[in-house]
Amino acid sequence: MSEQEFKRALGYANSAFDLLKRSGIPPYPQFYELLYTYATGVNPTLNDRINAIFRAGQSPTLDLAETLYNEFLKSDVNDRISHVSERMHARIEAVHDAIDSAMTTANAYSGSLQAASGDLDREITGPAMKTLADRLLAETRRMQDTNRALEMQLEASRDDIASLQRDLDDVRRESLLDPLTKIANRKSFDEGLAAAMADASTNGNPLCLLLLDIDYFKNFNDTYGHQTGDQVLRLVAMTLKSNIKSKDLAARYGGEEFVAILPSTDLEGAMIVAENIRKAIAAKELMKRSTNEKLGRITASFGVAVFHPSDTASSLIERTDRCLYAAKHAGRNRVVSEIDLAAIRAA
């Protein structure tokens, strides 16, 4: 973790503890997570709800904190997986029952055939032969009915299992998306970066990381409101995603920060990508949808670093983060690479 990222996280933590203390809410992990998330601003709907509570002068209580946590942060992924598991268990039990029934019928049919074989070894009369034939025909029909039921059960199970697989795929896909911007979330980014670094190490292909931060976003958010702030976040996410290749990965890193993994891209190419995104963001004029009021333009600052064989995910992110903060300190709305950073330090 870079020094800048540590300071950001510490600021969020201090804000969360201050809110817990002022509200008289016990600092249990779930309530700390609730107010830490509020401090980061990554869940706009949660922030709107809490802000409305503050504006109404309502005193936050333990019960209210529990309600908000269950509504906004308690993951339903486990519940959905549990539901899928229960359906899978019920389907497997039904198949087992059908197989058991088929085996019981098959054993009875086998016993009837053995008995018939014994009868045929002896001389039997015509009426006895007819009785034996009728019995075997009835047993055969019963076996056919059982087999048809088993086939139907297996067919239904196949369809249900395919549906369950789709449900599991949906759960996993949702767990990897940022709910506001609909691009990859931090978890998806972490997995994608690990895979990209492993591929670059194995194949020797270049790999770059791009980190961007929206300039003065807090002031913009405070001036025009969270709904407009959400519009800005979605706009930046869309612009980032539309200006990278399909094999690249765009993700929301946290708050107003976004990141892009650029495999098979060298530092020079990554700088061009970052500059194109910077210009595309700066070229877009914001309007308040409800009034068509022009709100001006937004800008973003960028840091770009290239993967080295000795890098870990943390060291690569930290170096990219240092480049981003150098861009901020140099006046914002610019791109700084690790080569630029070295030149700044040498100056």
Residues near 199 by beta carbon (within 8 Å), at least 6 away in sequence: 205, 207, 263
Q: Which of 48-62, 95-109, 267-281 shows the lowest mean pLDDT across its residues?
A: 95-109
SS (H, E, C) 75-133: CCHHHHHHHHHHHHHHHHHHHHHHHHHHHHHHHHHHHHHHHHHHHHHCCCCHHHHHHHH
pLDDT of residue 302: 97
pLDDT in tens, 212-266: 999 988 887 778 777 788 888 999 999 999 999 999 999 999 889 999 999 999 9
What region, left, alpha or beta, does residue 333 occupy, with left being phi > 0 and alpha being psi -120 to 50 degrees? Answer: left
Q: Per the residue annotation, which of 256, 257, 318, 338 is the catalytic one? A: 256
318 catalytically annotated: no
pTM of the full predicted structure?
0.59
Whether the predicted pLDDT of 1 surpasses 60: no
pLDDT in tens, 112-128: 666 666 656 666 666 76
Q: Mean pLDDT across the stretch 305-311?
A: 95
Q: Mean pLDDT across the stretch 291-305?
A: 86
Please choose, from the candidates 316, 8, 37, 275, the residue with its C-alpha nearest in 3D space to the C-alpha of residue 189: 316
Integer Cα distance of 272 and 259 in angstroms: 15
